Amino acid sequence: MALPPSLRVSFSPQELELIACEELVEIIPLIAMEKTAFISGAYGPLRPPNKAKVPLWMAMNLKLKKKCHIVAPDWLSVEYLQDKLLQETNAEGFSALPLRFAEMSKVLLDVAAEDIPNSDKVRSLLKDIREVRQAKSRDGLKKIDHIELSLANLCAMEINEIRPFYTRAMDVLTHLARSPIADV
């Protein structure tokens, strides 16, 4: 009623994107703006061509109106991602990536691809990384029981995708493991 069924088991990817857009990114503003008090904090002043840190939602807004360039975060580069892909393929477990890297990279590549060096290569590396990690998360399913499962370094979007059936499967196993109620 108050909450639609699909949202009772998970966030929507769009909601995760909204949360991720609070993260700060660096921009090169093309307009000037005085230091301004927003609800989440004070941002600016924007004095081109000096870099400034603003929340991702603000950066996207400005970028879409062609009022800034984005400075790609360190982790959104070919070198960094190639390294991570290597780690993913050579080691068990998940490599450490920023918790909201999927949401942030999607937004940045969508709106500011021209500001990201080698954006096509970056996109393809992200896809590869995603696929390797998805294959690994199948192993997590094999280990699932009604007690606990450690999933170090899983990122927000990945957790969100597996959440509905992982938690339901655990609920079923908990139900099966519960000792029969002796009601006499």
Partner 1 sequence: MDDDYYSIDSILAENQKIQCTFKVDIPDLGHLDGGHERDIKALSKIQLPLWMTYILIFSDYADFTVPAPFSSRVKNALNAECKSVRLSALVGAGASWYAFGKIVMRLLAQDAARDMGAVLTTAFRERLLEVIDQAQHFAALGHIGGAGQSNDTAAAFREGLDATERELFALAQDSARSTKQWYESTDRGRR
Partner 2 sequence: MAERDHALLESEDALLQSASPLANGLGVTDTPLQQLIRQWQNERYAPEILAGHEAALNVLLDHIRRQSDTIQHLRNDPGSSEDEHFRIMLAQTEIERVKFVVRSYIRTRLHKIEQHARLIVDTPGLQGRLSQTELNHAQRRFAKLTETYFHMSVLQALPEDQRGLDDDAAFVPPMIPEPNRSHSVFVHAREDCPPVPLPDSNFLTMRKGLIVLTPYSVIEPLLADGSIELV
Of 132 and 144, nearer to partner 2 (C-beta) is 144
**67 sits near partner 1 (criterion: CB under 8 A):** no
* Residue 148 in contact with partner 1, rule: CB under 8 A: no
Partner interacting with residue 161 (select from partner 1, partner 2, none; CB below 5-8 Å by kind): partner 1
Contact status: 19 vs partner 1 (CB under 8 A): no
**The residue count for the chain:** 184
154 binds, among partner 2, partner 1, none (CB under 5 to 8 A by kind): partner 2
Contact 51, 28 (CB under 8 A): yes
Cβ distance 129 to 96 under 8 Å? no
d(CA 86, CA 8) in angstroms, rounded, equals 37
Amino acid at 111: V
User: How many amino acids of this chain bind partner 1 (CB under 8 A)?
Assistant: 40
CA distance 28 to 50: 6
The residue within the footprint of partner 1, chosen from 35, 50, 90, 142 (CB under 8 A), is: 142
23 binds partner 1 (CB under 8 A): no
Minimum distance of partner 2 from residue 184's CB (angstroms)? 8
Count of residues in contact with partner 2, rule CB under 8 A: 49
Residues 28 and 22: their CA atoms lie apart, in Å, by: 18
Between the two ends of the chain, the Cα-to-Cα distance in Å is 38
CB 21 within 8 A of CB 60: yes
Among residues 140, 134, 115, which one has the least CA distance to residue 30?
A: 115
Q: Which residues contact 68 (CB under 8 A, 6 or more apart)?
A: 27, 28, 29, 30, 31, 46, 59, 62
Q: Judged by CB under 8 A, does residue 30 bind partner 2?
A: no
> Taking CB under 8 A as the rule, does residue 8 contact partner 1?
no
User: Applying CB under 8 A, does 171 fall inside the site for partner 2?
Assistant: yes
- For partner 2, the binding residue among 24, 30, 33, 78 (CB under 8 A) is 33
Stretch of residues binding partner 2 (CB under 8 A), selected from 69-77, 116-124, 128-136, 165-173: 165-173
Residues 77-106 that bind partner 1 (CB under 8 A): 106
